[in-house]
Amino acid sequence: MIVRLGYVAMSMQVSNASPSKTMTVTSFDKLNNRAAAVRKLERIAMENIHNTLRILKHNRAHDIELFRCSSKLIPLRGHEMLNDWDPMKVLTEAFAELGSYAIQNEMRLSFHPDHFTVLSTPRAEVLSSSLRDLESHVTMLEAMGLDESAKCNIHIGGMYGDKKAASQRFIDRFKALPERIRNRMTLENDDKTFTASETLDVCELTNTPMVLDIHHHEVNHEEDKTDCAELWPRILQTWTGQTEQGSDQELPPKIHVSSPKSEKDARSHADYIDPGPLLTFLRSVAPETPRLDVMIEAKKKDDALFQLMKDVSTDAGLKVLSQASFRV
DNA sequence: ACCTGTCAAGTCTGG
DNA sequence: CCAGACTTGACAGGT
């Protein structure tokens, strides 16, 4: 099995390259010229996109082909006081340049809308802002020129005292999504509410690929299902029919990995990745999985990726293939 | 230059 | 029913 590693949003090694610079509502309001304030938002967005491109260039130099873009590229995107603002008008070209670079260098990009995007909600206003948020994430992917292999990953959401009903609401809303959005979704098990097994059920009912988070599974699973490798054949199945950007090659399944910050605070993310549990999982699924993409969710971002590669290189059973990939 | 509090969002818990 | 916790990087204002 060939494993590629990636990381999230920002680099610890590229300095002054935040892709998430923003502006508060208060400081927006303080500017007396609204048009100028909007132009300032657009300048910040341009800077965020440019910094993302700088990060991709750094990634290329280190063989990193997997990356999740920040959801905060466009400051105050979706805020109700900016309903009349279409930021994409001035950003299309910058997004196109970013996407072209990713495609040229065979990079797999994604988004992970914040956990305020909840399709299972019983509240109409929360649903409509969630739908707007998904729409805008997909619009950004389209502006980058990326095909449907570039996904938006979300969780099922809250349960509101009745998980079954919440899950059914999610499914109904999900099926009603426009096709261009639905085809770009992946669903991930969360650390508190919807387990891997429950998320997988929803993925199967909606024909949607599942992103397994092995740390979330560790802290949130049914008593009788401690081993997530048991679910793997079904999870693999949810990825069939998906193809890589601009080709007929199969799109590798993706998983998330993080490590607990401490025993007491088991849900929070640690600075680095403990290779033990990850390698155990990888070895257990390797026979049936030709390729796998692993998204690292660690506070130290790409530093954690490079540290993990060091750990991998000292393991006699593994073969390092590049600065960010290896064979299990 | 550094520190502390605040900001955004939605859900859930405790009082 | 309302306040606070949760999460996260970055702003904002103070020293």
Nucleotides of C under 7 A from a protein CB: 6-13
Q: Pick out the nucleotide with least CA–C1' distance to A47.
A: C10
Predicted local confidence at residue A29, as pLDDT: 85
Q: Tell me the pLDDT tens digit for each residue of A229-269.
A: 899 999 999 999 999 999 999 999 999 999 988 777 778 88
Predicted local confidence at residue A51, as pLDDT: 95
Task: Look at residue A216 and tell me whether its pLDDT is greater than 90.
Answer: yes
If you average pLDDT over every residue of chain A, what do you get? Answer: 94
Tracing tokens 């048991």 back to the chain, one arrives at: A230
H or E stretch covering A218: helix A214-219
Question: What's the mean pLDDT in A81-107?
Answer: 95
In this prediction, residue A27 has a pLDDT band, given cuts at 50, 70 and 90, of confident
In this prediction, residue A203 has a pLDDT band, given cuts at 50, 70 and 90, of very high
Between residues A267 and A120, which one has the greater pLDDT?
A120
Predicted local confidence at residue A80, as pLDDT: 83
Predicted local confidence at residue A228, as pLDDT: 87
Assess whether A20 (CB) lies less than 7 A from strand C. yes
Assess whether A22 (CB) lies less than 7 A from strand C. yes
Three-state DSSP class for residue A68: strand
DSSP string covering A266-283: -SSBPSS--HHHHHHHHH
In this prediction, residue A26 has a pLDDT band, given cuts at 50, 70 and 90, of confident
Task: Look at residue A111 and tell me whether its pLDDT is greater than 80.
Answer: yes
Predicted local confidence at residue A78, as pLDDT: 86
CA angle in degrees (0–180, nearest 5) for A65-A233-A229: 80
Tracing tokens 């092995």 back to the chain, one arrives at: A214
> Nearest-CA residue to the C1' of C10?
A21
Q: How far apart are CA A18 and CA A210, in angstroms?
A: 29
Q: Pick out the nucleotide with least CA–C1' distance to A76.
A: B8
Predicted local confidence at residue A262, as pLDDT: 77
Is residue A47 classed exposed, middle or buried when 0-12, 13-18 and 19+ CB atoms within 10 A define those classes? Answer: middle
Assess whether A15 (CB) lies less than 7 A from strand C. no
Give me the CA A27–C1' C15 separation in Å, rounded. 22
In this prediction, residue A182 has a pLDDT band, given cuts at 50, 70 and 90, of very high
Predicted local confidence at residue A312, as pLDDT: 97
Q: How far apart are CA A42 and CA A93, in angstroms?
A: 13
CA angle in degrees (0–180, nearest 5) for A132-A119-A117: 55
Task: Look at residue A53 and tell me whether its pLDDT is greater than 80.
Answer: yes
The residue type at A43:
R
Predicted local confidence at residue A268, as pLDDT: 80
Q: Tell me the pLDDT tens digit for each residue of A268-317.
A: 888 999 999 999 999 999 999 999 999 999 999 999 999 999 999 999 89
Nucleotides of B under 7 A from a protein CB: 7-12
Give me the CA A25–C1' C12 separation in Å, rounded. 12
Predicted local confidence at residue A159, as pLDDT: 93
pTM of the model: 0.96
Q: Which residues touch strand B (CB under 7 A)?
A: A 24-26, 79, 114-116, 118, 120-121, 123, 125-126, 129, 157-160, 193
Predicted local confidence at residue A189, as pLDDT: 96
- A294 touches A8 (CB < 8 A): no
Between residues A310 and A226, which one has the greater pLDDT?
A310
In this prediction, residue A157 has a pLDDT band, given cuts at 50, 70 and 90, of very high
